[in-house]
Structure 1
Amino acid sequence: MAKTRPTRNRQAKTRRADNAGDTAHHGLPIHEVVLLLGTDAARGLGPDEVARRRPQFGANELPRAHGPGIARKLGRQFNNPLVYVLLAAGMVTVFLGEFLDSAVILAVVLVNTLIGFIQEVRAEAALDALHSLVRTRAAVMRGGERKQVPSEDLVPGDLVLLGAGDKVPADLRLVRLSALRVDESALTGESDPVSKDEVVLPRLTAVADRRNMLYSGTLVTAGSGAGIVVAIGGETELGEIHRLMGTVQPAATPLTLKLARFSSTLTVAILALAAVAFLAGVARGEQPGQMFTAAVALAVGAIPEGLPAAVTVTLAIGVRRMARRRAVVRRLPVVETLGSTTVICSDKTGTFTENQMTVRSVWTPSGTYDVTGSGYGPEGHIRPAAGGERQADTATPTREIEDEALRVCLLGGAACNDSAVRREGSSWQVRGDPTEAAMLVAAGKGGIIVSDFLAANPRGAELPFTSERQFMATLHASTHPSGGGTVFAKGAVERVLDLCRGEMGADGDTRPLRRHVVLNAAHAFADSGLRVLATATMSLPVAGGSLAAAELRGRMTFTGLQAMQDPPRQAAAASVQACQQAGVAVKMITGDHVRTAVTVAAAVGLAADSAAGTALTGEELDAIPAGEFPDAVERATVFARVSPEQKLRLIRALQARGHVAAMTGDGVNDAPALRQANVGISMGRTGTEVAKEASDIVLTDDDFATIEAAVEEGRNVFDNLTKFIVWTLPTNMAEGLVILVAIVLGAALPILPTQILWINMTTAVALGLMLAFEPKEPGLMSRPPRAPGRPLLTWALTVRILLVSALLVAGTWWLFDHELNNGATVAEARTSSVNLFVAVEVFYLFSCRSLVRPAWRTGPFGNRWLLAGVLVQGAGQLALTYTPLMNDLFHTAPIGPDAWLRIFGLALAASLVVGVDKRLRRQGF
């Protein structure tokens, strides 16, 4: 055979053509692929040729992207207007000798910078996980000799040998195989192992349907085969996903965007306030240096130093609550983003379903039977179905089988079987094909001990399942002295019926085969979204050592149908309904077949119909004009047989329409969309490491119900953050305005900068942060999600902040003047002013536990952390007022009981005014 030496350009061209439908390897006969790649289908490449090609094509590994260095990553964390002001204030306070102020401010900046840096480093781990996915050792033929080589040493043209349990090391065109089945779920989303063959396919065949190809990163579950390497490294389908991930920049979270806009607005307001104070003082004839110091003090007072810490702590508490509900959060801001989610795009397998194939019904010529229980555990029974042909006197489940056809059907499905189910820890694990595992479990539920049968009737020969034959058969020779043997077959209904001459009755006798009745029953199961396999048997007087398909045709007895599915999770339907009631749209995106997807969608409460355009396939998506694509995506609820590129396009289309999109997935094919989504959610049990690293949240139970719970927690987090901001801003604003008024009037300051710092830091920690522990309010999941463009503070909340700030300014000046006019010293008057600020904050804190409901309806013991914080703050205020050390440090002085009465009277009055405002402004929050 003449050989041609491919070049790297030819290989790249071939890889690109594979996508376009030109000279695609799956569309070429084997001899043309061999010729194109200059190899030998039996002997593989010679060692010298491999050595020549390796520099040409490089290593079989995914390219590594070089991201920004550590310094640049750290620098990016400071890109926030509020951080700029904090840094400037910190430096100025150092220059002015206010070292306590500067230390606190700079510590806040450092903590938030470190958190952001850690989050960015974690995000980059997604691409690294892809590199580990393709590393393995491969068996190859080199010059006619079988060798084991590292997967990174493969070159195009290598002949790779594969068996059950092997990971596919590169993209291969199959040249020979034997009963080869491959788990491609991580790449394509196909839930069942795929049977492979060598047939030439149309060049436009989708990746998921290319039966003559094997793709890097997938897993051989059964059989064996050999294939020629047609693509390595970045040129593989896995490499294409790697390229897609490299082009995706994670979307900024709504909280990040809102805080950025809020920080910018707040920064402008603080700087404007400080500038007014400076200019007013200079205009009154004060020294510019003194006015600059006063302006800095005003800015420090107006900056909500506790806000960054409050955001971090509130999100961290949300992370802990989500972890208790089996959702592990990898990026803090995403906690709140879930609460803003307007659409959830969920994978089918393992999220809406159990990801455990389960036999649901068994049909025999004498009756229909229901199989209870789900998954691979032995819990469950087999009992006559309601309305079936054969009825029992009682619906009580039993393991005593009276229908002989049912017993043989179950036994045949378990004996003609290459899988195993074993208990590992608290869960049941499958080795082999999930469909065969389901038949093993069904036999156990019927009380059949397969091991006893196999001990007495060991397997002597078999016909493995192939895509052409579409059935498997096994011969079991009896160890009894009488000899003989039994043949079992299982497979596609039509193919098994072709083997049969009759059907088995309940008494075990054979009667004429009613083919049309069997087919009608099979079609009824299939229309319900169930996968159906048929079983048959025959007895041999003498068991030989071989089995041929021709010997079985027309000689076997049909015993029954086993209908199975990956059952929907019990809580999925209720969770979907809860999300829809909360205004969150739910869509299913899967690589599985559209009929299977629509059936599962209906079971969990998602209406989908191919004819109505609410269920679309990947092929149909490609046919939709670009201008109509967003509308079609908005209408549809199920997307089936979609590729990684299409998943990414779907998420981008939803985001372009203003949605905050959450995406779930478990496979490599989901990784680009997971990274693009506002919230990427991966499966902790069945998910690949690539999917986990690309996601923001990992579900430890792979359950859609956990997503609904996480959305609820996310909404509560945003509520509590809003409550903190509405609570803290009036104090900061009032502190700045009090100083501004003093400068403008040329009067003594009612509160000093050091006292402002005391108020801000102690109340933020002891009082404000306690709002992070606030429990969920009633009706949290009954209201629609917040519009993505809605500001952090609505107009109604802004008015409330201004109202409380005005009450604080007016009350402070009245109290300060009253104390001075009644003989108090300046230190005593300032101490009263400081305590008034804190007292108003305490009363206002209880009001902020709900932004709509009156304080008395929230319950005094609903948040015990808040009560503890009030006690701690009260002790601190007493120490500030009455201990000599604190008097010296903060320029305070002891005050009498009458001053306390005035303080609490003003605080109570302010609280009553806020209560009236709540009653008048129930909307707009």
Structure 2
Amino acid sequence: MEFPEDFLRREEVFAFWPWDQSHFSALKLPIAYSSGPLLYPPPVPFLNASQVARFEGAVACGDLDSYRSSEGGAWAGRGLGWAGRCTLPGNQVAREPAHTLGTDTGHRGAAAVETAGRPAMVARRFRFLQKLSLPGQGHRYEALERDEEEALIEEQLGEKAVDKEKAVTALPPKEACKCHNEDLARAFCVDLDKGLSEFSVTQRRQVHGWNEFIADNAEPVWKKYLDQFKNPLILLLLGSALVSVLTQEYEDAVSIALAVLIVVTVAFVQEYRSEKSLEELTKLVPPECNCIRDGKLQRMLARDLVPGDIVALSIGDRIPADIRLTEVTDLLVDESSFTGEAEPCSKTDAPLADSGDLSTLSNIVFMGTLVQCGKGQGVVIGTGERSQFGEVFRMMQAEETPKTPLQKSMDQLGKQLTLFSFGIIGLLVLLGWVQGKPLLSMFTIGVSLAVAAIPEGLPIVVTVTLVLGVLRMAKKRVMVKKLPIVETLGCCDVICSDKTGTLTANKMTVTQLVTSDGLQAQVSGVGYNGAGAVRLLPTKEVVKGFASVSVGRLVEAGCVANNAVVGKNSVMGQPTEGALLALAMKMDLSHVKDLYVRREEIPFSSEQKWMAVRCSLKNEDGDDVYFMKGALEEVVRCCSLYNHGGLSLPLTPQQEAFWRQEERRMGALGLRVLGLASGPELGRLTFLGLVGIIDPPRAGVKEAIRLLSAAGVSVKMVTGDALETAMAIGRNIGLCDERPKAMSGEEVEGAEQGELAACVEQVSVFYRAGPKHKVKIIKALQESGAVVAMTGDGVNDAVALKSADIGVAMGQTGTDVSKEAADMVLVDDDFSAIMDAVEEGKGIFHNIKNFVRFQLSTSIAALSLITLSTVCDLPSPLNAMQILWVNIIMDGPPAQSLGVEPVDRDALGQPPRRVQDTILSRVLVLRVLMSAATILSGTLFIFWKEIPEDKASTPRTTTMTFTCFVFFDLFNALSCRSQTKLIFELGFLRNRMFLYSVLGSILGQLAVIYVPPLQKVFQTEGLGALDLLLLTGLASSVFISSELLKLCERHCSRAAALPCQGAAGPARRPQP
């Protein structure tokens, strides 16, 4: 017998009592045919031997062995009220417990059955509408019913467990900080001691995914290459090449296409190499973490974490996710990359009554921050994009990089040249129509001239100029990711800079000492090393060791009450303690810590605000000594004496008042002030003095800000630090004047965008600023018309780096996400390198303008010469080969060498250019027209002088005209090296490439005139010495007039500046 496939696999099976065929018809169950009857006592009259109700289990009660089918068994399966193994002829029944027969009771199970080699019939769920009474089987049914209920309960619990695990969600830090440990365990369904099970992790990962960030799909290489063709000028050149093909000027088409190919390839290769270099710079080993799962501490990849995992933290660990701490021992976390705070944050495991700013959540640690000291344990409350790091990542992904000013200028130039081309075509067609000439012929001439007018060498010059700028910046340890960014800094007028790690060294350093008896000392040197000295004031005497007992004892206390370890200019532990060890190294006292054996430590807490250690001298019998450091008020409270030149004297109110006055003075300078003491027992300590600690400004920052300000570039500090610290650093680096204006992050957030745009220019310092505040500040500055650069190194800077016109990241201290978001990277974290970048940017734009001036003036002169001869029915002054030679000079080495002119050292002192200024400014257009008019006039003079009376073209006529135009071209290139400086100020040898290219062009021109094979090709003849002198003198007029114009402009600008000599400073922007 063949069983249908759907008969062999069913999920729901029904049985009814009493048996009634109407039940089957009501259920519309299909009928299966069998060779034997359904076995059931008493017999079932309505089912014959050839049909069986479509069940997936045998409907049989009692001992199946006592029944046999007439034909060897229709089928056999899991019986109702049957237990044990049953055998029927032709059937094999698996050993399975029987199902109980309860009203509306769901049953679960499966019977594996083979019938005549057919697949097993399996039923997974049985439902009975009425309990069948089978004599003598009650006890068995009850036991089976209990088993089935337990199985059912287990199944239901399993389903509920899956749903429960999948319902666990990430908890925002501002909510998690208020939870007690019991609340956390309940919210994340986790045992805080044993951690999650693998089952829980698997279910949660289906909802939360991996603890990582999925960036936007990277563009394939071929698409990045094709994107280079989106430049309007490139598209215009491609259109010109197409027109050249249509007009059968294949040489022009090939040269234009080749130029375009070179440009896009060079630009692509440079950007691709920069991106790859950055990838190498940011490669890190996949982070790992210590996690408790199934009661065991395991080392695993951070990407495996899910919400609810229990993570153990120790010194040096990078925090793998957002974590709510549940156990803490002296835990200090460096959150400078996230909040901008230089000082490590002391952490606690106690719930907070109120959630303030993220930087104030003392029981939360954030992904990407670093454990500086101590250890802790906590619950993961956010992973991947649901962490605070992930929020920054999402914001960064949503930000679009703005177009650079150079790209905008090139787009505008492309449009202007397009209009110019159509203007030429229209003018010639109009003239042809007036003169009655064939319109098609005039249109063809117009198109050819328009194509010739488009400077196909311009993209090459721009690209080469930018590449050289990038290479020069690379030598200065500045990595540029995209070519146009170099020039953008030339029009940057606002730099918003993060404080920690950018303007400051991110190395806490002791800078001042005040001993308990009133001695003051100044400390030099930055970093966790012995570089620098301690000098007593006002004598500037250098002290070492215990030469000054008061200073020596103060430094000794800071060295002994210390848990940090200083390595090679780095610190493992709290940076403040690292600063005290560095101070001891400068005093040659770093060894004193090894003279003591530590007996006890009383750790620092936010409540007591001090830490102390109890020590005894090694190998000596004596009383134990306490060394304490902390807040002045709390340390003094534990003191009864103060040190005076090695003697312990009773502490007086006058002394306390003096120390508090010194604390206020040092605090006003932005220093973190610590008091130190020592003595035999707490409460009877001897006060030793104060130390002032700060994250000092980087070397060269103050001078860089001064030079940038003189160049019209405003520098603003945007930091997460408190107002006092930010203002102190601002004053130290010359950022704040006598009455600086500061603005908090809350004020920024509360201000309307329009209001903010009106006031941000006057603000020097933004404090307590988070990622959203930084972006809002940048957008407000951009709305006011500023070109904004943003420097930063932390996660909290990434979004602002991307939204700024120029994002500048730090190469050494910068996080991966900040480098990815930035447009350029300062490899050595040297802020002063930005000055070099600004200088490069200004110089590059000037070089591009020099080239445009040269090429357009030459092109206009050549086109005008040919146009006039065509309109006036004169023979062409130049033949086809001569025009090709002129075109090579216009777009070849002399022109290209203008783009590599060294940057003018005076460029930094010039104010930033306006974004609205196009390359073809009014002044430049006037200079182009003046040079073109001079070239055209001189060339027409020679042409008119040499042309015979019959107006026929001769070799001498074309040679004189041709050579005159080439000489004009070269003198014009000489005058275009600078828009403002005279040739004698620039120097002839400063741009050697230009010198070689001009000399090569002169030799080439002489070869064209005097070498016989070339004479035939170019249809020229030899010229006399007087002819050459005449042409040289005439062609120099374009150079002389240009130099005189520069002198005149310089005189006029000085005269205009005389009434303004008492002004407050240089103009912020040049006037159009």
Deviation at 1:759, TM superposition (A): 2.6
State the Cα deviation string for residues 766-787 of structure 1 (Å, max 9, x = none). Answer: 3233334444547534432222
Structure 1 residues 589, 892: CA separation in 2 closer, same or farther (over 3 Å shift)? farther
Contact 2:561 2:612 in 1 (8 A): yes
* Alpha-carbon separation, structure 2, partners of 1:683 and 1:25: 33
Name the CA distance, whole Å, in 2 between partners of 1:105 and 1:851.
Answer: 28
Instruction: State the partner residue of 1:402.
Output: 547
Q: SS of the counterpart of 1:698?
A: strand
Give, as a single letter, the amino acid of the residue that structure 2 aligns with 1:322: M
Tell me the distance in 1 between the aligned counterparts of 2:452 and 2:1044.
Answer: 28
2:726 maps to what in 1?
597
> Which one of the candidate residues 210, 213, 217 is aligned to 1:62?
213
Matched letter for residue 191 of structure 1: A
Determine which of 920, 925, 932 is the counterpart of 1:798: 925
**In the TM superposition, what are the counterparts of 1:217-616 in structure 2 within 5 Å?**
217-277=368-428, 280=431, 291=442, 294-366=445-517, 367-386=519-538, 394-423=539-568, 428-448=569-589, 450-451=590-591, 453-512=592-651, 514-539=655-680, 552-607=681-736, 614-616=741-743
Residues 1:29 and 2:156 are matched in the alignment: no
Aligned residue number for residue 202 of structure 2? 51
Kept after mapping to 2: 8 A contact 1:6/1:37:
no
Secondary structure, in 3 states, of the residue corresponding to 1:78? helix
Partner Cα distance (2:990, 2:225) in 1: 40
Match of 2:804 in 1: 677
Please give the residue correspondences for 1:643-722 in structure 2 after superposition, counting only pairs within 5 Å. Answer: 643-722=770-849
Contact 1:93/1:102 (CA < 8 Å) preserved in 2?
A: yes
C-alpha spacing 1:602/1:757, structure 2 compared with 1 (3 Å): farther
Shift of 1:656: 1.0
Runs of at least 5 residues in structure 1 that lack an aligned partner in the other structure? 387-393, 540-551
Whether 2:996 is the aligned partner of 1:868: answer yes
Letter in 1 for 2:583: A
Query: Which one has the largest radius of gyration?
Result: 2
Does the CA contact (< 8 Å) of 2:753 and 2:780 recur in 1? Answer: no
1:471, 1:492 within 8 Å by CA — same for their partners in 2?
Answer: yes
Return closer, same or farther for 1:870/1:123 CA change in 2, 3 Å cut-off.
closer
Deviations 1:402-435 (A, max 9, x none): 3323212212212222223333xxxx23333222
The whole-number CA distance in structure 1 between the counterparts of 2:333 and 2:997 is 59
Query: Shift of the alpha carbon at 1:807?
Result: 2.3
Q: Residues 189-208 of structure 1 correspond to what in structure 2 (within 5 A)?
A: 189-201=340-352, 203-208=354-359
Query: What pairs up with 1:666-815 in 2 under 5 angstroms?
Result: 666-777=793-904, 779-815=906-942
- Alignment-mate amino acid for residue 829 of structure 1: T
Q: Say whether the 8 Å CA contact 1:816–1:832 is kept in structure 2.
A: yes
Q: Deviations over 1:856-901 (max 9, x none)?
A: 4544444444333321222222233333454455555443334323
Is the 2:536–2:543 contact (alpha carbons within 8 Å) kept by the matching residues of 1? no
Q: CA deviation at 1:71?
A: 4.6
> 1:136, CA displacement in angstroms?
1.7
Percent of matched pairs sharing the same residue: 35
Contact map agreement 2:702 2:734 (CA 8 A) in 1: yes
Q: Matched residues in 2 for 1:123 and 1:749: separation?
A: 49
- Give the letter aligned to residue 534 of structure 1: G
Q: Which amino acid aligns with 2:364?
A: M
One-letter code of the match for 2:587?
G
1:260 offset after TM fit, Å? 0.8
Q: Is the 8 A contact 1:733 1:805 kept in 2?
A: yes
Instruction: Write the distance in 2 (CA, Å) between the matches of 1:28 and 1:263.
Output: 62
Q: Distance in 1 between matches of 2:903 and 2:305?
A: 56
CA displacement at 1:134 relative to structure 2: 10
Spell out, residue by residue over 1:806-858, the C-alpha distance to the aligned partner (whole angstroms, 9 max, x if none): 22223323323433329996444334333323312322233223323444454
Deviation digits for residues 584-642 of structure 1, max 9, x if unmatched? Answer: 11110112222111001011222279xx8821121222222344221232221101111
1:629-648 to 2 correspondences below 5 Å: 629-648=756-775
CA distance in 2, matches of 1:429, 1:401: 26
Q: Helix, strand or coil: the match of 2:542? A: coil
For residue 1030 of structure 2, give the secondary structure of its aligned residue in structure 1: helix
User: In structure 2, what is the Cα distance between the partners aligned to 1:71 and 1:320?
Assistant: 25
Please tell me whether the aligned partners of residues 134 and 217 of structure 1 are also in contact (alpha carbons under 8 angstroms). no
Note the residue ranges of structure 2 that are not aligned, 5 or more in a row: 1-159, 1054-1070
- Given residue 700 of structure 2, which amino acid in structure 1 is its aligned partner? A
Once the two structures are TM-superposed, the CA of residue 323 in structure 1 deviates from its matched residue by: 3.4
Deviation of the 1:242 alpha carbon: 0.9
RMSD: 3.1
- In structure 2, the CA distance between the partners of 1:893 and 1:418, relative to structure 1 (3 Å rule), is farther
The more displaced of 681-690 and 289-298 is 289-298
My pick for the range that moved more, 432-441 or 591-600, is 432-441
**How many angstroms does 1:90 deviate by?**
2.3
1:324-349 per-residue CA deviation (whole Å, 9 max, x = no partner) reads 44433222211111110111111212
Where does residue 390 of structure 1 map in the other structure? none
2:1005 is aligned with 1:877: yes
The CA distance in 2 between the partners of 1:693 and 1:737, in whole Å, is 50
- Contact conserved, 1:730 with 1:802, CA < 8 A, in 2? yes
Is residue 897 from structure 1 mapped to residue 1049 from structure 2 by the alignment?
no
Contact preservation (8 Å) 2:330, 2:603: yes
- Higher mean C-alpha deviation, range 298-307 or range 162-171: 298-307
Letter of the structure 1 residue corresponding to residue 586 of structure 2: K
Question: Residue 83 of structure 1 is aligned with which of 234, 253, 259?
Answer: 234
CA spacing shift, 1:644–1:887, aligned 2, 3 Å: farther
Which string of whole-angstrom CA distances, capped at 9 and with x for unpartnered residues, describes residues 229-251 of structure 1? 11111111111111111111112
CA distance in 2, matches of 1:87, 1:775: 31
Of 762-771 and 587-596, deviating more is 762-771
The AA in structure 1 aligned to 2:532 is G
Match of 1:844 in 2: 972
Inter-partner Cα distance in structure 2 for 1:752 and 1:89: 22
What is the aligned partner in structure 1 of residue 300 from structure 2?
Answer: 149
> Structure 1-normalised TM-score?
0.89
Aligned residue type for 2:525? G
CA contact (8 A) 1:671 1:694 kept: yes
How far, CA to CA, are the matches of 1:563 and 1:256 in structure 2?
Answer: 49
Partner of 1:159: 310
Equivalent position amino acid for 2:556 in 1: L
Structure with greater contact order relative to length (CA < 8 Å, sep ≥ 6): 1
Q: Which moved more, 1:131-140 or 1:46-55?
A: 131-140
Q: Distance in 2 between matches of 1:685 and 1:819?
A: 69
Show CA shifts across 1:443-465 (max 9, x none): 122121x33x3444233443333
CA distance in 2, matches of 1:285, 1:58: 77
After TM superposition, give the deviation of residue 267 of structure 1 in Å: 1.8
Q: Do the aligned residues in 2 keep the contact of 1:402 with 1:506 (CA within 8 Å)?
A: no
Query: In 2 relative to 1, CA 127–869 (structure 1 residues): closer, same or farther, beyond 3 Å?
Result: closer
Maintained 8 Å contact 1:126/1:690? no
Q: CA deviation at 1:100?
A: 4.0
Instruction: Name the aligned partner's letter for residue 495 of structure 1.
Output: E
TM-score between both structures, scaled by the size of structure 2 = 0.78
Provide closer, same or farther for how the CA distance between residues 557 and 98 of structure 1 changes in structure 2, counting only shifts above 3 A: same
Separation in structure 1 between the aligned mates of residue 447 and residue 753 of structure 2, nearest angstrom: 55
In structure 2, the CA distance between the partners of 1:761 and 1:676, relative to structure 1 (3 Å rule), is farther
How many angstroms does 1:521 deviate by? 2.0
